[in-house]
Copies of this chain bind each other. A is one copy, B any other.
Amino acid sequence: MNCVIVGSVALDSVRTPHGEVERALGGSAVYASIAASRFTCPGIVGVVGDDFPKEHIALLKKKKVNLEGLQIVSGKTFHWKGYYEGDLAHAHTISTDLNVFASFEPVLPETYRNAEFLFLANIDPVLQMHVLEQVKKPRLVVCDTMNFWINGRRNELLEVLRKIDVFVLNEGEAWMLTDTRIMPEALDRLLKLGPSCVIIKEGRHGALMKSRNDYFTLPAYLLREVKDTTGAGDTFAGGFIGYLASRRRVTPTEIRRGMIMGTILSSFVCQDFSIKATASLTDARFASRCEEYGQYARIPNLHF
């Protein structure tokens, strides 16, 4: 397995001004692996209950997501219920039922342990560490997190950060972790925590990246209709690592390209609920949006 993704596999009930879904396929590992599956065949590490609909399993298999690492145990699948208002920039949680996720102990199948590309999606840093310890010689480890872990598991998170390569987080989380709102300063402080590369997701304002040898900022793809922003960050990171896993070289230019792939895929995921838009995305539509994006974000040469 070239690319392994650990995170939540969930059923989400989501309401936005544009509609709602009940117990739709969701979770950080699902969004990320559907995005990564455009470029590679990722393996999922996660857990679901025996109520998990067979059609979801079928869909993931159809998208060439390897499910050897997905535990199916007795009980109910993790369920998140929430809603969005206005410009859908912030999720409001109504309820989080961890269910079988509460006692999840990630065990990697033998075939996953040689993974070169590993994405520790947003879950308890303690679990992220357990997974990291089971992968023998990862070439690139990407890690996401959320405010909940920054507050509640700060030390465990800091320990994970010392062992990863790329830290992906949003602006508010960066401020929280670094105690500064000055972004260049925040990036420097985040790099000092261990990662060699930090990516700040800024939603409809795009993303920023700073590494030891590059600095990059890119705009988002502007959408005319945003139906549901759930999973946009997971999709970004999944597209990013999936692309890099398919290229195998991790150069500054490939990192920029990976961020663009993540940006384009996350624009699609916001156009429909759950993973509908990314799972049904054709190569032609994806290539066409990449082409369009490349045009509209192109910086011309500057001469004096």
Residues of A that sit less than 8 Å from B by CB: 86-87, 181-185, 202, 204-206, 208, 214-219, 222-226, 253, 256-257, 260, 287, 290-291, 293-302, 304
Q: How many copies of this chain sit in the oligomeric assembly?
A: 2
Contact A184 B223 (CB under 8 A): yes
Given contacts A219-B219, A222-B208, whether A300 and B182 have CB atoms under 8 Å apart is: no
Q: 22 A-B Cβ contacts within 8 A? A: A86-B181, A182-B225, A183-B222, A184-B223, A205-B205, A206-B206, A208-B222, A215-B295, A216-B297, A216-B298, A217-B219, A217-B296, A219-B219, A256-B298, A256-B300, A260-B300, A260-B302, A287-B304, A290-B302, A290-B304, A294-B299, A294-B302
CB < 8 Å neighbour of A182 from B206, B218, B224 = B224
Contact B290 A294 (CB under 8 A): no
B-side contacts of A219, CB under 8 Å: 206, 208, 217-219
Closest 6 CB pairs of A and B: A217-B219, A205-B205, A184-B224, A215-B296, A297-B299, A253-B300
CB < 8 Å neighbour of A218 from B202, B215, B287, B299 = B299
Distance in Å from the Cβ of A261 to the closest Cβ of chain B? 8
Contact B224 A256 (CB under 8 A): no
B-side contacts of A296, CB under 8 Å: 214-217
Most chain B CB within 10 A, of A183, A290, A302, is at A302
B-side contacts of A208, CB under 8 Å: 219, 222
B-side contacts of A222, CB under 8 Å: 183-184, 208, 217
Distance in Å from the Cβ of A152 to the closest Cβ of chain B? 27
CB < 8 Å neighbour of A257 from B87, B215, B302 = B302
